[in-house]
Structure 1
Amino acid sequence: MLISVVSPDLSHNCLGRAYVLAQLIEQNYDVEIVGPKLKGTVWEPIKDEYEYKGVETGSRVYQFPFAVPSLLDRISGDLVYVSKPRTTSYGLGLLATIGRDRPLILDIDDWETGFSYRHGRLETVLKGVPRLASMNSYYYKRFLEALSGVADARSVSNHFLQDRFSGTLVPHAKDTEKLDPSRF
């Protein structure tokens, strides 16, 4: 069985969570890591760990949709395991599994919309409107968090998220030598 792990961005540290999931999965199954490269390159600390199946694109609404067909072609797993409820990962996962006999698992390792509330909800809502040009803006993440129950299963990184979204607990685990910031 091949499992496709979909990262929201292969060129950012959010690839770290997809990498951890892939390491756990590859103990029992074949695994591939797929996702957009929003900054053009694979995230430096783990760039040589896998043959990443990525597509260079931007996160704007006038860029990312054009990369979707190529990204969907790269998702070849019998099961799709997406990291984060973002358009560039969960949105892809939904498209890759709809009408197909492929289960979809959503991993939630952060409260995506919660990060936006640091200045208050009203300011977040008002400032969010101009940011709709980004496929990973507050409104898209909020919509996809609301759709988290559509996934066949969920995993979460901590008890707060487990209480909020339910799901199996898969704590964060990082190789602190490989990901030592002083090396990069």
Structure 2
Amino acid sequence: MNLLTQKSQLKISILVSDLSTSGAGRWGGESVRSFLLAQALIRLGHKVEIVGFVFGQESNITSKADIVVTQVTGYNYPKFFKSATQVLRNLDSDIIYAMRPKSTTFGLAILKRLRTKIPIILDIDDWELSWYGGETWQYRPSLKQLYRDIFKPDGALRYPDHPFYINILESITNKANAITIHTKFLQEKFGGIYVPNGKDTELFNPDKYDPAACRNYFGWSDYRILMFPGAPRPYKGVEDVLTALDILNQPDLKLVIVGGSPYDDYDAQLMEKWGRWIIKLPKSPATEMPKIVAAAHVVVVPQRNTPAALAQFPLKLTDGMAMAKPILATKVGDIPEIVGETAYLVDSGDSEAIATNIQLIFDDLSLANEKGLQARQRCIEKYSISAMSSTLDSIIKSL
């Protein structure tokens, strides 16, 4: 019998590459994959800490009553070795849970295991190389460029999570003791055990909210509200919904975008072209999101068929499901399997079909709301924090 099976409570360190507000620290971390895993592990009775880097940006993450958060200032190479040493010294856990195959996470976990034999679970919730061209990405510098990338202060290879290092680490993911993924696309690529993102269905409980009162609170009583409760990006298809609103041309229809993009000025581009249809809400803590989603008539998840979208589990989908909202989504990646028969599904990029289904939903809102109730039940059974905990328990016992 190994040590892990002898202990009822384990200390598990979740190693994160970026705890800044543009990384795992966005929205206070509450709805980000690493914190969802932490909640699921705590429900199993384990002690959980989150350890991560902050590279030159602010972070609004703080330790909570049940999760210790340790932030380490990150630097580029060669100063990164100092940051890495600090992290390695603090990893005195029973299991390291490395988030994504990066130097700052999986790479450090492997170094720690070489000295201590601590088992590693690797979580892959995105295909990192997809942001650099995927399988076609190559690093073939000239000798002069290689010298610059290594020795110049702003050299590309001084960045710890440069795709050169990611490419190497993606090729050795089988060195982890276990792998967890959250989409079938990633499972086909890396193997591993399917652990979809869970939702706190007690926090996201529609019985606690009156939708009409919530709309009145936000000043939306005169509108029919479509909601995209996340950060818009081109591959997330928000433009397709806005084009559908152009087609319908019904002034009381509005698209509420919650939080906006922390990466660039994409929000401003959307507002410039489609401002008459958009209502923007600022970033909100997870505890406020149920009230916001309750105010929606429909939650839209219009993902486009791209590698970036295929690799991701859209959390906004389970926001709507948990709050028993009608869901209008595209047939991309795992979405059809996640929602089953409880949503309105259209082909990716088909604004005409999106417009038709928006009209269909509002023509029979009672039927749409019934589908929403079915979606909540499906979320509780398959995509809750409790469902996550059950799968993780089996993984840990198998180590």
TM-score normalized with structure 1 length: 0.84
Cα RMSD for the two superposed structures: 2.7
Quick one: distance in 2 between partners of 1:116 and 1:172?
A: 25
Give ranges in structure 1 of 5+ residues lacking alignment. Answer: none
Q: 1:40, CA displacement in angstroms? A: 4.9
Q: How does 1:163-174 map to 2 (within 5 A)?
A: 163-173=188-198
When residues 174 and 103 of structure 1 are mapped into structure 2, their CA distance, relative to the original with a 3 A threshold, is: same
Give ranges in structure 2 of 5+ residues lacking alignment. Answer: 1-9, 26-31, 150-155, 205-229, 231-257, 260-281, 285-399
Which residue of 19, 39, 42 maps to 1:10? 19
Q: Does 1:35 align with 2:52?
A: yes
1:94-152 alpha-carbon deviations (Å, 9 max, x no partner): 1122232311010001111121107x936x53589642221101110000111101000
Quick one: distance in 2 between partners of 1:40 and 1:76?
A: 27
**Alignment-derived partner of residue 104 in structure 1:** 120
1:144-170 alpha-carbon deviations (Å, 9 max, x no partner): 111101000100120011001000112
Any conservation in 1 of the 2:12–2:94 contact (CA below 8 Å)?
A: yes
**Alignment-derived partner of residue 153 in structure 1:** 178
**Alignment-derived partner of residue 125 in structure 1:** 139
Q: Does 1:54 align with 2:71?
A: yes
The one-letter amino acid paired with 2:194 is L
Higher alpha-carbon Rg: 2
The one-letter amino acid paired with 2:181 is V
Q: Does 1:83 align with 2:99?
A: yes
Q: 1:69, CA displacement in angstroms? A: 1.3
The one-letter amino acid paired with 2:182 is S
Residue 106 of structure 1: SS of its match in structure 2? strand
The one-letter amino acid paired with 1:121 is T
The one-letter amino acid paired with 2:159 is S
**Alignment-derived partner of residue 113 in structure 1:** 129
Any conservation in 2 of the 1:54–1:71 contact (CA below 8 Å)?
A: no
Any conservation in 2 of the 1:53–1:74 contact (CA below 8 Å)?
A: no
TM-score normalized with structure 2 length: 0.41
Deviation larger for 133-142 or 92-101: 92-101
Which residue of 70, 73, 76 maps to 2:89? 73
Any conservation in 1 of the 2:48–2:68 contact (CA below 8 Å)?
A: no
Q: 1:172, CA displacement in angstroms? A: 3.0
1:44-94 alpha-carbon deviations (Å, 9 max, x no partner): 3x5454431121122x21221111111112212101111010111111111
Deviation larger for 84-93 or 96-105: 96-105
Quick one: distance in 1 between partners of 2:11 and 2:164?
A: 32
Residue 81 of structure 1: SS of its match in structure 2? strand
Q: Does 1:141 align with 2:166?
A: yes
Q: Does 1:162 align with 2:187?
A: yes
The one-letter amino acid paired with 2:82 is F
Quick one: distance in 2 between partners of 1:165 and 1:7?
A: 19
Higher RCO (Cα < 8 Å, 6 or more apart): 1
Quick one: distance in 2 between partners of 1:64 and 1:40?
A: 16
Quick one: distance in 2 between partners of 1:88 and 1:71?
A: 10
Quick one: distance in 2 between partners of 1:109 and 1:96?
A: 22
Quick one: distance in 2 between partners of 1:30 and 1:48?
A: 13
Aligned length, in residue pairs: 179
